[in-house]
């Protein structure tokens, strides 16, 4: 099964915002990523607009021709963004304002009642839903009860353990992926995936539909160039 690569372009907006103006040009960068083979564009428009701004969302929605994935915490502002721009996919993450980066999946023992009406609203907009989840079977089964279309595995723990013990790092994700397959939920993944650990992850999760990668990919592009980097990441996914 071919796995899609969605390029997270938050870091490009961060560089632009550091100086003001429009360099680098975020919209042109997104278009170029698509031209170079990216299967989608991911953004995370945080309330403090530390990188992606509300205006950016509208500008990108007009030009993205591949899969547009908007991720974020589902507060009133985020839901209005979805309503206004109708991306292909909305990925819900449990990081309220002030969190530096998404670093855990949803706590379903507390969040089920909160998430259910939100997911229903997203489906009512004709948008595919995805939930950021930890790599364990219980989280997948809980997500299935909400009727979500996909889950996105938080792969930070996998990446941190990869160099020391690949087998131990991937084991919980294999079990969680099996549960997702049995529940009929599509599998995405993201966080700290890179050119060293990506192929092994895909080899062990053959039903993986999509990865969203930003920080590592943009960092590699500083040395390798964005066109070459996108090709290298896609090669790690579809070998």
71 tagged catalytic: yes
235 tagged catalytic: no
Q: SS in 3 state form for the chain?
A: CCCEEEEECHHHHHHHHHHCCCCCCHHHHHHHHHHCCCCEEEECCCCCCCCCCHHHHHHHHHHCCCEEEEEECCCHHHHHHHHHHCCCEEEECCCCCCCCCCCCCCCHHHHHHHHHHHHHHHHHCCCEEEEEECCCHHHHHHHHHCCCCEEEEECHHHHHHHCCCHHHHHHHHHHHHHHHHHHCCEEEEECCCCCCCHHHHHHHCCCEEEEEECHHHHHHHHHHCHHHHHHHHHHHHCC
Active-site option among 51, 67, 191, 210? 191
203 tagged catalytic: no
Active-site option among 44, 51, 67, 152? 44
Active-site option among 71, 85, 152, 210? 71
Catalytic residues: 44, 71, 191
């Amino acid at each position: 099964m071919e796995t899609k690569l969605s390029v997270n372009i938050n870091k490009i907006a961060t560089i632009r915002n550091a100086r003001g103006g429009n360099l680098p040009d975020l919209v042109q960068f997104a278009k170029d990523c698509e031209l170079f083979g990216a299967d989608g564009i991911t953004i995370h428009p945080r309330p403090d607009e530390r990188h992606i701004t509300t205006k950016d969302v509208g500008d990108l929605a007009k030009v993205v021709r591949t899969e547009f994935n908007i991720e974020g915490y589902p507060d009133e502002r985020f839901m209005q963004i979805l309503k206004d721009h109708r991306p292909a996919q909305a990925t819900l993450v449990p990081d309220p304002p002030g969190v530096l980066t998404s670093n855990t999946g949803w706590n379903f023992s507390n969040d089920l009642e909160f998430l259910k009406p939100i997911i229903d609203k997203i489906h009512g907009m004709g948008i595919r839903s995805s939930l950021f989840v930890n790599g364990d079977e219980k989280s997948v089964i809980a997500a299935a009860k909400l009727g979500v279309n996909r889950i996105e595995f938080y792969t930070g723990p996998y990446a941190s353990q990869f160099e020391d013990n690949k087998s131990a790092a991937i084991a919980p994700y294999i079990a969680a992926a099996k549960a997702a397959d049995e529940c009929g939920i599509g599998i995405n993944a993201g966080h700290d995936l890179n050119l060293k650990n990506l192929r092994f992850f895909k080899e062990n999760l053959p039903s993986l539909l999509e990865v969203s990668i930003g920080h590592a990919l943009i960092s590699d592009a500083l040395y390798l160039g964005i066109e070459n980097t996108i090709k290298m990441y896609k090669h790690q996914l579809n070998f």
